[in-house]
Structure 1
Amino acid sequence: MSEVLSLFELNNLIRNVIEGSLPDTFLVTAEIASCNVKNHCYMTLVDKADGQIRAETGAVIWADRYRSIARTFERQTGTALAKGIKILIEAEVSFHERYGLKLNIINIDPSYTI
Structure 2
Amino acid sequence: MPNYGDELDAVLRALADPTRRAVVERLSRSPAVVSELAAPFAMALPSLMQHLRVLEDAGVVTSEKQGRVRTVSLRPGALDVLHLWLGEQRTPAERQADRLGLHLTRSAPKDT
The question of a shared fold, defined as TM-score above 0.5 by the shorter chain, is answered with no
Name the larger-Rg structure: 2
Q: TM-score range by the shorter chain?
A: under 0.3
Q: Compare the two structures and name the one with the higher strand fraction.
A: 1
TM-score, scaled to structure 2: 0.23
